[in-house]
Amino acid sequence: MADEGDGTGKHRQSRLLTDDDGTFDAERARDESLPVEDGEVIDTDDLAEHQHYVEGRGIYDERNRVNDLTGKEWKYATKSVIAEGYPPAVQHDLRSEHGGQKPPRLCAELIGRFSKAGDTVLDPFAGVGGTLLGASFCEHEGTGLRDAIGFERTERWTEIYAQVLECENEERRARGEPELATQEMRHGDCADLIEEVDDDSVDLLLTDVPYWHMDELEQTRNVNETRESKLGSFDVDEAGDSGTEAEDEEVTGDEAEFAGDAAETTGDAAETATKDDWLADMATKFDRFTDAVAPDGHIVVFIGDMYRDQSYKFLSADLARAIESTAPVTLAANLVWYDPTKDLHVYGYPFSFVPSMVHQNILVFRPDETDE
């Protein structure tokens, strides 16, 4: 983009804004309201046809079909680790009845990376609506509203989403802030509801998958135990098997406790009694979901790994492989959401190394190109 001072005039203004040492004075440039990108003043007359400068955000390339980010923002968004704790917010107490809810602002961040204003976002395992709320936040805290559709088979969670939105908007009105848009939460099984979604009509599928039944029972137990434990406590088991898993660590913060379906007692027991059944079920479902996703869309999936039976269960890798081998998609990235505010619970000490799970994986898939 920049030329290095070969006399063509690009970035020529930067040379007028040097300090005593002859280095570029970005602070002075900012004071004078000149656009600065990568440490140099932008000569906006020199941008290519397909570029324009967005005040305070940098250069936007109109060929960008992935998101609304400027080059500078895009560069930041390619970071493979999101190191961010999301303090309890957005009617957290209400949402935490679920136990596997995701922070809406983390969802908004991902929606901003993988969609454009006006796009359609689908969450087939919507829970209490982290994705839907995130899509609404994009209107006020991002580049514009996305339309979101959620499927959720437990009616209680759909009711909580509605309640969260109502309470949140009441508070926003009282603060004089604009309301969050109501998104479409549909009650039912995603395997049925996906049939009502047109092919290629979804730009981003963002979801957080349910775990299999065996773990739901385990998670309920572990979450209860963890709730009682204190930071710094040593829950030691001489065998070095804490019985813990990623979910155990997820009891604080904006509680992506991915106890997943811990609070959910119905459903998949027979369908997904083992890990292999669960992987097969997810692979089949994502194969069908992919039909709904536009060719230049993305499929983004939260999945936590676990520690179980004295070994690390690489669920994210297993799930990525299962989905890729069934659905016509390619894994483009594994992002890591690291929550630095998570409490640590030490299980193996002093006998065995058991990881404290303070991260979750976010698998990013792209639909494969077809010949059509």
Ligand X SMILES: C[S@@+](CC[C@H](N)C(=O)[O-])C[C@H]1O[C@@H](n2cnc3c(N)ncnc32)[C@H](O)[C@@H]1O
> Interface with ligand X by CB under 6 A: which residues?
98, 100-102, 125, 127-130, 151-154, 157, 189-191, 208, 210, 260-261, 264
Q: Say how far residue 134 (Cα) sits from the centre of its chain.
A: 9
| Residue 156 Cβ vs ligand X, minimum distance, rounded to whole Å | 9
Q: Which is nearer to ligand X, 12 or 187 (CB)?
A: 187
Q: Say how far residue 36 (Cα) sits from the centre of its chain.
A: 30
Q: Which is nearer to ligand X, 210 or 297 (CB)?
A: 210
Q: Return d(Cα 356, Cα 343) in angstroms, integer.
A: 9
User: What value, to the nearest 5°, has the Cα angle with vertex 292 and ends 286 and 297?
Assistant: 90
| Residue 138 Cβ vs ligand X, minimum distance, rounded to whole Å | 16
Q: Which is nearer to ligand X, 10 or 359 (CB)?
A: 359
Q: Which is nearer to ligand X, 35 or 130 (CB)?
A: 130
User: What value, to the nearest 5°, has the Cα angle with vertex 360 and ends 276 and 185?
Assistant: 80
| Residue 81 Cβ vs ligand X, minimum distance, rounded to whole Å | 20
Q: Which is nearer to ligand X, 29 or 133 (CB)?
A: 133
Of 120, 201, 190, 192, the residue nearest 151 (C-alpha): 190
- Closest residue to ligand X: CB criterion: 127
Q: Across-strand partners of 235?
A: none
Q: Which is nearer to ligand X, 59 or 138 (CB)?
A: 138
Q: Which is nearer to ligand X, 73 or 255 (CB)?
A: 255
Q: Which is nearer to ligand X, 73 or 208 (CB)?
A: 208
Of 210, 204, 359, 331, the residue nearest 279 (C-alpha): 210
| Residue 183 Cβ vs ligand X, minimum distance, rounded to whole Å | 12
| Residue 195 Cβ vs ligand X, minimum distance, rounded to whole Å | 12
User: What value, to the nearest 5°, has the Cα angle with vertex 85 and ends 83 and 89?
Assistant: 145
Q: How far is CA 365 from CA 148, 244, 266, 286, 319, in A?
A: 19, 29, 29, 11, 12
| Residue 259 Cβ vs ligand X, minimum distance, rounded to whole Å | 8
Question: Checking DSSP bridges between strand 120-123 and strand 147-152, what pairing results, if any?
Answer: parallel
Q: Across-strand partners of 205?
A: 122, 299
Q: Which is nearer to ligand X, 210 or 348 (CB)?
A: 210
Burial class of residue 239, CB neighbours in 10 A (0-12, 13-18, 19+): exposed
| Residue 272 Cβ vs ligand X, minimum distance, rounded to whole Å | 9
| Residue 219 Cβ vs ligand X, minimum distance, rounded to whole Å | 11
Q: Return d(Cα 277, Cα 339) in angstroms, integer.
A: 30
148 close to 132: Cβ distance less than 8 angstroms: yes
Residue 211's contacts (CB-CB under 8 Å, 6 or more residues apart) are 219, 258, 260, 261, 278
| Residue 8 Cβ vs ligand X, minimum distance, rounded to whole Å | 50
204 close to 119: Cβ distance less than 8 angstroms: yes
Q: How far is CA 167 from CA 4, 60, 90, 264, 336, in A?
A: 54, 36, 9, 24, 31
Q: Which is nearer to ligand X, 102 or 298 (CB)?
A: 102
| Residue 83 Cβ vs ligand X, minimum distance, rounded to whole Å | 20
Q: Return d(Cα 250, Cα 129) in angstroms, integer.
A: 18
